[in-house]
Amino acid sequence: MNHASAFVILALLLFGPLAVATIEHNIELYCLALGVLATLLGAGFTHELILEALHEPVAISVAVIVAALLFGWLRPGLDRVFERLRHRLSRPVLTASAVFVIASISSVITAIVGALVLVEVVGLLRLAGEKRVRVTVAGCFAIGMGASLTPLGEPLSTLAARALDLEFMGLFHLLAPWVFPGVLASSIVAGLFARGDYDEAPAGAHVSQTYGAILFQAGKVFAFIAGLVMISSAYGPIANEYVSRMSNDLLFWANTVSAALDNATLVALEVHSMTLPRAREAILSLLISGGMLIPGNIPNIVSAGALRIGSATWAKVGVPMGLVMLGIYFAVIKLMG
């Protein structure tokens, strides 16, 4: 693929979801279409690429289905548990604890299901107005980071593990010491945002998903990852050429663009042939930046859609929180050399 074609497709990938609401709401199919186009303009389809595009999304798509079904069956029990906990724990403590648990297991139950559980919990915590928005944003920061620890968690982790040729627990060993402090901090912030009494709002509506909706969501995830695999393959040589010229510091801050598009997209373009320390810095920047705006990560899209949170409202909380976290992580990375 020549540089002109690559630039046009990249511009469509970056700005299409921002410019057209229909694309933002169907970003998975849009990404698949651009993946096919990039492949046709590049080296074309090969047997190996087709098999890879069909194989890579399978595990996370199956995980989405299984975890969503389990959540549906276990939800009545979750409601009863929260009813008892509301009588024993203050709302800030229960909020922080719930967010931390959801985020910590999201690499197994997937970020999509983690976001659905978060929406349910926000209703059970009887949050309303600005508090509901703030807790949701902080919770999505935590889920986005926690889901990165296995290839099952989210598209970013699936593609990162593939590009870095890591085993199933490879991402955990690479990221866990850096991710868990961020998950804990985001959970504490969510608890602080939730200060108040339980009776200030009625219980929220339950998250309802039919079997068809679950299969449709899994199909969209499959299409999204398949499209990113094709984009990654088509852009690999070009990405290696340009990303290799950027210093670690420049790449860390350049990755804030992932706030405006799903962070898995940049992982698909960037981490080819990177050393693990350099890849870790890039991934951490993408994980944090992905929480700043709604299109930045799948949990944001799911939660904002379920709770009807607008882009500007999300940004008022997400951008300051993300910039503070980026600054702290950057300082720690520099201090540790």
Distance CA 79, CA 206 (A): 10
3-state secondary structure of 197: coil
What band does 201 get if pLDDT is binned at 50, 70 and 90?
low
- Find the mean pLDDT for residues 136-156: 94
What average pLDDT does this structure show over 214-234? 85
What's the alpha-carbon Rg for the chain, to the nearest Å? 19
Confidence of residue 100 (pLDDT cuts 50, 70, 90): very high
Name which of 77-91, 108-122, 178-192 the model is least confident about: 77-91
- Which residue matches tokens 């009588």? 87
Selection from 268, 246, 74, 276 nearest residue 173 by Cα = 276
Identify the domain containing residue 191 by its residue range.
3-335
Our CA angle for 207, 317, 105, nearest 5°, is 45
Q: Are 274 and 282 in contact (CB under 8 A)?
A: yes
Mean pLDDT of 301-325: 88
The SS3 of residue 28 is helix
Task: Write the burial class of residue 241 (CB in 10 Å: 0-12 exposed, 13-18 middle, 19+ buried).
Answer: exposed
139 in Cβ contact with 317 (< 8 Å): no
Quote the pTM value.
0.82
One-character DSSP codes across 214-247: HHHHHHHHHHHHHHHHHHHHHHHHHHHHHHTTS-
Q: What are phi and psi of 120, to 5 degrees?
A: -60, -45
Number of separate domains in the chain: 1
Confidence of residue 262 (pLDDT cuts 50, 70, 90): low
User: What does the alpha-carbon distance between residue 264 and residue 252 come to, in Å, rounded to a whole number?
Assistant: 15
DSSP one-letter code for 296: G
**What is the distance of C-alpha 53 from the center of its chain?**
20
Q: Tell me the percentage of the chain whose pLDDT exceeds 90.
A: 39
Q: What is the pLDDT of residue 285?
A: 95
- DSSP output for 30-49: HHHHHHHHHHHHTT---HHH
CA neighbor of 238 nearest in space, from 270, 267, 260? 270
Residue 111's pLDDT is what?
92
Higher pLDDT, 263 or 287: 287
Residue 305: CB atoms within 10 Å: 13
Min mean pLDDT across 15-24, 156-165, 200-209, 229-238 is at 200-209
Supply the pLDDT for residue 202: 65
Checking if the pLDDT of 61 tops 80, the result is yes
User: Given a cut of 60, is residue 205 above it in pLDDT?
Assistant: no
Tens digit of pLDDT for each residue in 122-145?
988 888 889 999 999 999 999 999
Cα–Cα distance, 184 to 232 (Å, whole number): 32
Distance CA 248, CA 336 (A): 14
Instruction: Tell me the per-residue pLDDT of 225-251, one tens digit each, with 9 for 90 and over.
Output: 888 888 878 877 777 677 778 899 999
pLDDT digits (tens, 9 = 90+) for 106-118: 999 999 889 989 9
